[in-house]
Amino acid sequence: MKPNLLLVMVDQLSGWALSRYGSTCVDTPHIDAIGREGATFRQFFTNSALCTPSRGCFMTGRYPHAHGAYANGLRLGDDEVTLAHLLARAGYDTGYIGKWHLAGEPRPGWMEPEQAMGFADTRFMFNRGHWKSLLEDESGQVKVSGEIGDERTYTTDWLTAKAIDYVRQPRERPFFLMLSIPDPHDPYTVREPYASMYDPAAMEVPPTFAAGDRPAAVDSGGKSDIRGVWSERRLQETKAAYCGEVKCIDDNVGKLMQALREAGLLDGTIVVFTSDHGEYMGEHGLMHKNNVYETAYRVPLLVRWPAAIRPGTEVERLVAAVDVMPTLAGLIGVAPCGREQGKDASPLLRGELTEWIDEVFLHQDSQRKFGVFTPGFELVYADRSGGVLFDRLADPKQLFNRIDRPSYREHVVRLTGALVRHGERAGCPELNWLKEQLSHDD
């Protein structure tokens, strides 16, 4: 029998908030255990630091322009093949609990199986919204509210309880369950005791909080720009609440893992924990995501399955959201659909030698930005706003744009070539304005 698959995705979680990734503000032992007993991806990136396009990349293995949901409020293309489609065809029971954000505008938009892209059990699947309490009435209708719930109704707790019910159901076939928790996305509020668990005064203010002007190619702060608006104290209070949300998530991951253990399913289940994108939390005077600084793109990915993954595996290669679908299909032994644009990283999980190119491509279609991450650099071009080159090793805080420095010219040429070749392979519309901009620069 093939393994079960449990994919836990949270919303707007950065690696700096997990102790597995070095956090000093939150201890997350239950999430950490997934990586400690399995694999931790140290260089995992979403391809688009925005909910909808990122989730589309995860689910289809395709870039935003290809799967169609390249901005929030857009639907995933009706003809897209998701991981749920693949596993359903392979005989899996499929279920989804929580936020989907790939069905356009409906809010909350409770989903029906015929619109759920391969997921059969959709009773607790909603399109979008960051509600702080959920409650099911006697008729089975779920009421949503912005009021903060208690340990029974708070959204993270409620959704996890439904996931525990799902994995405990007797069944003859393997299951694929995706639990999508809307926290720790704003609004940054959480129930007690988590709301008062962390002292704002103990929260570190990022050293780039009051940094100087951002390069034109990346300065798309908008409502996320808090320079001169937020005080350090306000940021610390927000960060303390965010950390409370993360701790609540970790405790619920512990409950879910314990339920699998008690049901005798833990070692027969591939457990995946990740986030759709990160959170700046004051870095460069920004909140939220959807800029091009690395923190919004580099996110956690942990995978546990003792049958194939050695405990404590550290994956240092650059892996992207578009690689998740082919990787999980490869790990399970299910043939991909053939439309995927990502790569199968399952050999990296198994500790096998494989050819791997350390490039991850940034597609910020809604703001017309196009870029590439490599082990040493991040290069991004913006339509009509030039470009930016960050040296990831010499300048990890991304303070200096080196694109015009003569000593970096060789790297700019090489990375630009990689970006153009990727654009041609993937049929990226960004190539139209990028080639025009490059010709003017010459």
Tokens of 110: 């409770």
Out of 12-21, 34-43, 214-223, pick the least confident.
214-223
Q: What's the chain's average pLDDT?
A: 95
Rounded to an integer, the average pLDDT of 322-329 is 98
Given this model, what pLDDT does residue 437 score?
A: 87
Given this model, what pLDDT does residue 318 score?
A: 98
Residue recorded with tokens 């909350």: 108
Label residue 86 by pLDDT band (50, 70, 90): very high
Q: Which CATH superfamily is domain 4-350 in?
A: Alkaline Phosphatase, subunit A (3.40.720.10)
Label residue 106 by pLDDT band (50, 70, 90): very high
Rounded to an integer, the average pLDDT of 65-89 is 97
Given this model, what pLDDT does residue 440 score?
A: 76
Phi (first) and psi of residue 356, to 5 degrees: -150, 130
Terminal C-alpha separation, the chain: 59
SS3 271: strand
Tell me: the pLDDT tens digits for 190-216? Answer: 999 999 999 999 999 999 998 777 887
Given this model, what pLDDT does residue 208 score?
A: 94
- Flag whether pLDDT at 111 surpasses 80: yes
Label residue 219 by pLDDT band (50, 70, 90): confident
CATH 3.30.1120 in the chain, residue ranges: 368-441
Rounded to an integer, the average pLDDT of 271-281 is 98
Rounded to an integer, the average pLDDT of 400-421 is 97
Given this model, what pLDDT does residue 290 score?
A: 84
Given this model, what pLDDT does residue 427 score?
A: 96
CATH 3.40.720.10 in the chain, residue ranges: 4-350
CATH class of 368-441: alpha beta
Tell me: the pLDDT tens digits for 336-387? Answer: 999 999 999 999 999 998 999 999 999 988 789 999 999 999 999 999 888 9
Nearest to 13 by CA among 273, 230, 348, 200: 273
How many percent of the chain have pLDDT more than 70?
99
Rounded to the nearest angstrom, the gap between the alpha carbon of residue 253 and the centroid of all alpha carbons in its chain is: 17
- Its pTM stands at 0.97
Out of 258-267, 395-404, 429-438, pick the least confident.
429-438
Nearest to 101 by CA among 14, 7, 11: 11
Out of 68-77, 98-107, 221-230, 428-437, pick the least confident.
221-230
Tell me: the pLDDT tens digits for 235-255? Answer: 999 999 999 999 999 999 999
Given this model, what pLDDT does residue 442 score?
A: 62
Nearest to 46 by CA among 16, 98, 76, 11: 11
Rounded to an integer, the average pLDDT of 380-407 is 95
SS3 301: strand
Given this model, what pLDDT does residue 139 score?
A: 86
- Flag whether pLDDT at 221 surpasses 70: no
SS3 117: coil
Hey, which bits of 323-401 come out as E strands? 360-364, 369-373, 377-382, 386-391
What is the side-by-side strand order in the sheet with 93-99? 121-126, 93-99, 175-181, 4-10, 269-275, 301-304, 39-41, 313-315
Given this model, what pLDDT does residue 1 score?
A: 82
Rounded to an integer, the average pLDDT of 100-121 is 96
